[in-house]
Structure 1
Amino acid sequence: MELRPYQEKARRRVEEEWKDGRAKTLLVLPTGTGKTIVFSAITKDAVMAGRHVLILAHRGELLEQAADKLQKATGLASSLEKAGSSCLDSWYMVTVGSVQTLMRQNRLDKFPRDYFQTIIIDEAHHAISTSYQNILQYFDKAQVLGVTATPDRSDMKDLGEFFDSIAYEYSLPSAIRDGYLTPIKAQTIPLKLDISKVTISAGDFKASDIDTALDPYLEQIAAEMKGYCKGRKTVIFLPLVSTSKKFTELLQSHGFRAAEVNGESKDRAQILADFDSGKYDVLCNSMLLTEGWDCPSVDCIVILRPTKSRGLYSQMVGRGTRLFPGKKELLLLDFLWLTGRHELCRPAHLLAKGDELAAAMTRRIEDAVVPLDLEEVEKKASEDVIREREEALAEKLALMKKRKRKLVDPLQFEMSIQAEDLSSYVPSFGWELEPPSDKQKKDLEKYGIFPDEIQSAGKASQILGRLHKRAYEGLSTPKQIRFLESRGFQHVGMWQFESAKKLINRIAFNGWRTPRDIDPASYQPEKKEG
């Protein structure tokens, strides 16, 4: 088994986290980038070290896939802990376990509490549920790895209460750029779907309400799809099984070779095989295919089950991101959802790090009449956001001048050094959500940053880390940035410390007036030699 570079890095980082004492860590990999291969390699390392490994999953298909891929990738066979089968009767070091079986106390009591030294959770966003926690709390000395696709912020806040760290994260844009996943093009269909009266249940849109709201539009959607899905292999996600069946019939009446699968389908395996082979060109389902099903030839995704969860949205889109011969891109069809006061995931959220960028991307996609490559949209929308921020910053700086503040506003610092990661930072783990500590505030002031507008310890830690790094690299200080940018010089945060110091000395020797031969708006310091 030869791992790709990012897979090898992920494997190493997870094992380093465990070695450093962070016993419960997360691995974030987009759908289609081989998460099973990575945790199979980690499993093999654990077995070589003499450790018993438990791989947990909540569905029979996932258990079978994990066992099959583990054996193909590493040669390791595994025992099964499910219903009448038990690993206690086996000599295998690896167990693939059903959560529904192991969660029962009478089943757990059969095991010594230290029986498993390593536990791997596929689809780790389920790990915070009571059933998983019963198992994890019983084997509380085990090292735990949770594997998930890109989770949304609410998931991360919840996961952060159990997991100690994120060992490694490989982003969807990186996977596309590196050629491991197919590019995504988004197309907004100009059909307004009003779901403003849909209620929220358990943090997401209630499926039955979506079904009721969606029903009047199904005929129009089927008609619109004729122009977009021709010649493509399409998967459609719908809120309920009844809607999935109804929409399948509508698509058939519009000339599509459409099929439907659900949890009760007796011929489900045959339907999936027929879709894979090309007998059908459209497959409808009600959230059945979000996990544990691969069909790399899928090149169109239609999501008619709107969601607030970025993790769930990523899983649905992930059914079409795998590479396949002759496949140029994945077409992701979107609609003009009218949501009232609620936000929902749109194509932009697959790449955007913050809501501001996602909104700018969505505007560009909606205004276009042709499918747009998401990476290109992200680049152009980033320029829009930077321009808007600079305009807002100019207004804020005008107010700041009146206050004659000695310290630098953190927003000015972030904009000057062009730190998109700092601007879009969102705290995830518990300690990151706490207010900045007194020591952090003191250290920020020492560097010249005004701490009162930094709301969290996580953000303070990020800024301090960047300041330490900049000092090591010999880049300009916050106070240099504030002074020179107040004189009209641009993006001083990208300058070397010595360049800024040299210019400030010139201004000082000139009676604190900018020399006449220098135009602040166009001035660029000399590049550092070597």
Structure 2
Amino acid sequence: MNTLITNNQTTNFYNHLEEVLLKCNSFIFNVAFINFSGLQLLLDTLKTLEQKGVKGRVLSSTYLNFTEVKALKKIKEFKNIEVKIYDSNKTNIGFHAKSYIFELDDTYELLLGSSNITASAFKTNIEWNIKTISKKDDLFLNEVLNEFESLWKNSYIVNKQFLEEYEEFKKTFEKRDFNSSFKLEKLNTNYMQEEALFNLESLRKSGENKALVIAATGSGKTYLCAFDVKKARPKRVLFLVHRENILIKAKQSFESIVDSSFTCGLYTGNKKELNKKYLFSTIQTMSLDFKNFKKDEFNYIVVDEAHHIVSPSYKRVLEYFKTKFLLGLTATSNRMDGSSIYKVFDNNIACDIRLNDALENKLVVPFHYYGITDIESIDYSSIDMTKIEELTKVLKVNKRVEYIIEKMNLYSHCGYKRKVIAFCVSKEHCIYMSEQFNKRGINSTYLISNNTISQREDAIKNLEDDTNCLEVIFTVDIFNEGVDIPSINTVLMLRPTNSPIVFTQQLGRGLRKHKGKEFLTVLDFIGNHNKAYLIALALIGNKAIDKESIKISLKNNFANMQNVFIKMDEISKQRILEQIDKENFNHLKYLKEQYFEFKAILGNRRPLLVDYLQYEDLISPLSFISDSKSYIEFLAKVEKDEEIKSNCTDEVFIKAIRFIEYLLPVKRVYEFVVLKYLLNNDYIDEEIASLHLKKYLNKINSDTILHSFNFLNQDYFDKAQVKRYLKLVEFKNTKLVKSKEFELLLQSDEYKKLFEDSINYGILHYEKEFGREDYSLPFLKLYSKYNMLNIAQLCNFNKIHSSFRGSGFLKYKDDFFLFINLEKEKFSKSSYYDNTFLSKDTFTYQSKPSTSQDSVDGVKLINNKKLNVKLHIFVRKFVLVDKKTQGFIYLGLANTIKYEGNKPISVHLKLEKPLDNKLYEEFTKIV
């Protein structure tokens, strides 16, 4: 039997290769080339085979000089593996073979196809490989083995002389090739830049004069700005930076893109090129000299590291200049002082690219993450993890130092020189680790808050210098904002992970693209502490549908994550799986821990709702709101703040804030745009609403504006909702005005600030999820989550919305909405229905028990396409997870292709858009 193996969202060639390696008696790799990026993924498995005494032969070639010397040297370290090279440079014959041959007890297993030994071939490239199993006397198998033996016989043993000669040849070849053929003809826009350029143009068309771009370090924000300037063609530009070392790079980026007629110059303490049209200046210089320029001197101002924009020096400069357009660039939207940079830019987000987006779209380098079980003597079970001195004492162990170095040597790194950032638990731990590494011949230093700026700069410069002997910097508290070492090729996590946010911040330090840096190696030493599961949450982010998703990802070696390789050893994996099963992610204890971890990251100031947006892949305030009905009521539970507790005793205020936050996450932006306008204005009408909605949507629906007015007027509320929530607005003639109670509440600056935060969070969250696209009526986006009440709102249903309910079946005009539970739990209503996916586009569905084939609904269900009835499909795997009701995922439209039975009717439905591999696995697999 033959099986096709491809790289997809649920598995990949690597997973198949590892599985058969671990059960074979001997193996053969016969591949055109071997890169270290691919070999590194196999090192754990090859080490296991060496310990078991399983013999292997590896044959590769010098074809096109793609095979890397570093990879060959690493293979030669294994005592159980012979390695040879077919020298294509001498024979002048191309070598294209890609085959993996495994001897088992009674059979051979062969993987034949297109994959060489590279990380991309193993995990992400479009590769086709055939797995075939043959008996030992099979004719085809013996042809393959004979052909291999012939090649093996005519190949060279990889010895020291060959490696030296080949390495010297490759260096000469690469140098000659680079100088003679490399030519920068055209810079193309990447995913982030295309999204931002489109949104910047849309914002300007709707009359906006400010925008903010949030994207990972190294994703091309400066080039994006240059592309937009080239498009907008302003007469004069001012580019402001926080640090002088960025200026020249920014200027060069612009010069490579904009027309030569738009000259670029520097404006610093030493150099003032006033005759240039585009000026690049530090805020330090401009804050002293800005009055030397006319107020309307610059048509377009760019602020790099824009999270500094609310500081006094920036405020002075930007309040003076009257620019036509202000663009902010930043990798982080949060500030320690609580000031909102969203507000400065009128909440106009041109793009918000988070780590998973950046990885998926190859804006940063891939990383290879190895979760390694720590040495047995490191025992966290009896330690208070908040007591840093205790933790430091446990980690200062010579045996652990040797273990870390052993693993560093096993996995090695990308590139010639090892360049490591190692994150420790304390300053004392940093100093200890640096001393121990130096004693063992690995040149290292430490950087902590006590170091001067010049000491930091020297250490970073030495680490980046390929000729300098410094290999490792140990640090604890300074490598967050403003530290950029693009060439880092290794990150060591030497402390237990207590926060997925800190984990991703530290990971991000090594992801900057750099010439010759193919990937980042991350070694994480996972102990037995009870929060090891946070690592899995950090790696998966909001891609997880539920706890089951996390477990599936762990089992599949995170095959669903693009552009990365993640592997945890079996002990760590099992520990994390057990912890995920035990942990209730909706319990107040867990939510409280999450909250205080996040608060600590913000310098121990109380987070606003908008602060969570930057890290919403990892922490969501919606869980806090769900627990307590509003964010401030959650704060009253967990904080010892009398003012918060006092606010929560104001019944009118609580009824108002509960109403706003009950609508989160926003599925239709109309209501929130109306409320935002009414915070500072007496009334709003259809014309004003339409004008302000253009900022968020490409197309405005006038019926939906009126429906949103009626919704806010509580026209569609039942008696319980009217009693539960404050009426914020009233209809007067054709205008919507604030109710007296809401107007009174807004007289309090504190209350107004809280309302504004909730509304801004709702709008910004909506922009991130839905963008500017019009999804028509009903306003549904594929693969977003909804509940039944959402559908009433999104259909412009003009009766009481709570009546728009049913046992999984709702209808409005010619739209049917089928809400399907896949779980078959005992005593669950869904256990009465047979709902199962048969393939990626076909599944079974049972109607309500009372529905017959000749009823109105039955006829429309079984003949939907003929009668132009749209069947909208919503699916959830579980009704409850950790005692919390789950949302339904919208899978788009389906059509009935087969039906049988009566009361209920059993139908086969076919989706118009088939599920991808990941979603199909989510809905069909239980770990």
For Structure 1 versus Structure 2, the TM-score category normalised by the shorter chain is 0.5 to 0.7
1:94 to partner: Cα distance = 1.8
Q: Within 2, Cα distance between the matches of 1:98 and 1:63? A: 8
Where in structure 2 are the equivalents of 1:71-90 lying within 5 Å? 71-74=255-258, 78-86=264-272, 90=274
Query: Aligned residue pairs: how many?
Result: 469
Deviation string for 1:340-399 (max 9, x for gaps)? 9xx9996744651399979985x999x99x986782889x99xx999x99x99xxxxxxx
1:225 aligns with 404
Q: Within 1, Cα distance between the matches of 2:285 and 2:244? A: 11
Q: Within 1, Cα distance between the matches of 2:219 and 2:580? A: 30
Q: Which deviates the most, 451-460 or 216-225?
A: 451-460
1:122 to partner: Cα distance = 2.0
Deviation string for 1:245-297 (max 9, x for gaps)? 553222222442324566223744751343x4574432335635853634346
- Quick one: which of 278, 293, 304 aligns to 2:484? 293
Q: What code does the residue aligned with 2:474 have?
A: C
2:541 aligns with 352
Q: What SS is found at the alignment partner of 2:203?
A: helix
- Quick one: which of 97, 105, 109 aligns to 2:281? 97
- Quick one: which of 203, 206, 209 aligns to 1:23? 209
2:349 aligns with 166
1:258 aligns with 444
* Structure 1 unmatched ranges of 5 or more: 199-209, 393-419
Q: Does 2:657 align with 1:471? A: no
Q: Within 1, Cα distance between the matches of 2:716 and 2:523? A: 46
- Quick one: which of 902, 909, 919 aligns to 1:525? 909
Q: Does 2:176 align with 1:4? A: no
Q: Within 1, Cα distance between the matches of 2:490 and 2:904? A: 51
TM-score (norm 1): 0.65
Deviation string for 1:48-92 (max 9, x for gaps)? 331x222222222222332333334546653333335445xx111
2:155 aligns with none
1:109 aligns with 291
Task: Tell me: CA distance 1:308–1:149, structure 2 relative to 1, closer, same or farther (3 Å).
Answer: farther
Task: Tell me: CA distance 1:521–1:351, structure 2 relative to 1, closer, same or farther (3 Å).
Answer: farther
Check conservation: 2:211, 2:348, Cα contact below 8 A: yes
Where in structure 2 are the equivalents of 1:373-452 lying within 5 Å? 375=561, 440=708, 442-443=710-711
1:404 aligns with none
Q: Within 2, Cα distance between the matches of 1:131 and 1:359? A: 50
Task: Tell me: CA distance 1:270–1:303, structure 2 relative to 1, closer, same or farther (3 Å).
Answer: same
- Quick one: which of 303, 306, 317 aligns to 1:124? 306
1:314 aligns with 505
Q: What SS is found at the alignment partner of 2:344?
A: coil
Q: What code does the residue aligned with 1:3 have?
A: N
Q: What code does the residue aligned with 1:23 have?
A: N
1:167 to partner: Cα distance = 0.8
Task: Tell me: CA distance 1:268–1:466, structure 2 relative to 1, closer, same or farther (3 Å).
Answer: closer
TM-score (norm 2): 0.40
1:241 to partner: Cα distance = 7.6
Deviation string for 1:170-229 (max 9, x for gaps)? 34333333444333325265456767547xxxxxxxxxxx68964763446644422432
Q: Within 1, Cα distance between the matches of 2:207 and 2:379? A: 52
Q: Within 1, Cα distance between the matches of 2:474 and 2:503? A: 17
Q: Within 2, Cα distance between the matches of 1:306 and 1:521? A: 52
Q: What SS is found at the alignment partner of 2:350?
A: strand
Which has the larger helix fraction? 1
Which has the larger strand fraction? 2
Q: Within 1, Cα distance between the matches of 2:265 and 2:320? A: 20
Task: Tell me: CA distance 1:345–1:172, structure 2 relative to 1, closer, same or farther (3 Å).
Answer: same
- Quick one: which of 177, 181, 185 aligns to 2:360? 177
Q: Within 2, Cα distance between the matches of 1:490 and 1:149? A: 48
1:327 to partner: Cα distance = 3.6
Check conservation: 2:240, 2:281, Cα contact below 8 A: yes
2:248 aligns with 64
Q: What code does the residue aligned with 2:353 have?
A: Y
Task: Tell me: CA distance 1:64–1:215, structure 2 relative to 1, closer, same or farther (3 Å).
Answer: farther
Check conservation: 1:14, 1:27, Cα contact below 8 A: no
Q: What code does the residue aligned with 1:10 have?
A: A
Where in structure 2 are the equivalents of 1:238-253 lying within 5 Å? 244=430, 246-253=432-439
Q: What SS is found at the alignment partner of 1:320?
A: coil
2:318 aligns with 136
- Quick one: which of 432, 445, 463 aligns to 1:272? 463
1:187 aligns with 371
Q: Within 1, Cα distance between the matches of 2:512 and 2:781? A: 42
Q: Within 2, Cα distance between the matches of 1:344 and 1:135? A: 46
1:442 to partner: Cα distance = 4.5
Q: What code does the residue aligned with 1:517 have?
A: G
2:221 aligns with 35
* Structure 2 unmatched ranges of 5 or more: 1-185, 568-572, 588-615, 626-630, 632-656, 664-670, 676-706, 726-754, 783-787, 793-803, 810-818, 820-828, 862-898, 914-927
1:333 aligns with 524
- Quick one: which of 275, 282, 285 aligns to 2:472? 282
Q: Within 1, Cα distance between the matches of 2:833 and 2:390? A: 57
Tell which structure's C-alpha radius of gyration is larger: 2
Check conservation: 1:307, 1:313, Cα contact below 8 A: no
Task: Tell me: CA distance 1:245–1:177, structure 2 relative to 1, closer, same or farther (3 Å).
Answer: same
Check conservation: 1:236, 1:304, Cα contact below 8 A: no
Query: Among the aligned pairs, what percent are the same residue?
Result: 17
Check conservation: 1:297, 1:324, Cα contact below 8 A: no
Task: Tell me: CA distance 1:270–1:117, structure 2 relative to 1, closer, same or farther (3 Å).
Answer: same
2:421 aligns with 235
Q: Which deviates the most, 29-38 or 325-334?
A: 325-334
Task: Tell me: CA distance 1:517–1:269, structure 2 relative to 1, closer, same or farther (3 Å).
Answer: closer
Check conservation: 2:237, 2:277, Cα contact below 8 A: yes
Q: Within 2, Cα distance between the matches of 1:91 and 1:519? A: 83
1:416 aligns with none
Q: Within 2, Cα distance between the matches of 1:70 and 1:442? A: 50
1:308 to partner: Cα distance = 6.8
Check conservation: 1:237, 1:304, Cα contact below 8 A: yes
